[in-house]
A = this chain, B = another copy of it.
Amino acid sequence: MHFTEEELREQVSKLEGWKLEPNMMVRKYMFNEYMKGIAFVDEVAAISEAFDHHPHITIDYKTVILRLSAKEESGLAALEFRQAHEFNEAFDKTR
């Protein structure tokens, strides 16, 4: 299932913290301890292996940024929104 630009905006608006970028979605996660951010990255990695789709990850001390690009050439789809939702759930458990 693929989305129009309007549908994309609506989908991303339902996901806390995520922002839409061209053919990509981005969220910055902040932690109060460095090792909590690292534990979160471990969860992100496990989820990414399960989806066989790996976000670009940046760790800048207690800040972790995920950049999830479209897996399919046709653009961001339901897959990315499910995956981003799982990242958010992992964040809620880890922080």
**A residues apposed to B, CB below 8 Å:** 34-35, 38, 41-42, 45, 48-49, 54, 56-61
Chain B residues, Cβ within 8 Å of A42: 38, 42
Establish whether residues B35 and A38, one from each chain, have CB atoms under 8 Å apart when the complex forms: no
Task: State whether B61 touches A49 (Cβ < 8 A).
Answer: no
Complex: how many Å from CA A16 to CA B82?
A: 40
Copies in the complex: 2
* Most B CB within 10 A of own CB, among A34, A48, A59, A60: A59
A35 x B49 contact (CB < 8 A): yes
Given contacts A41-B41, A42-B42, contact A34 B59 (CB under 8 A): no
Q: Give every chain B residue within 8 A of A41 (Cβ-Cβ).
A: 38, 41, 59
**Cα–Cα distance between A48 and B38 once the two chains are bound (Å):** 11
Task: Give me 11 other A-B pairs in contact (C-beta within 8 A), A35-B45, A58-B59, A59-B59 excluded.
Answer: A34-B48, A34-B49, A34-B54, A35-B49, A38-B41, A41-B41, A42-B42, A54-B61, A57-B57, A57-B59, A57-B60
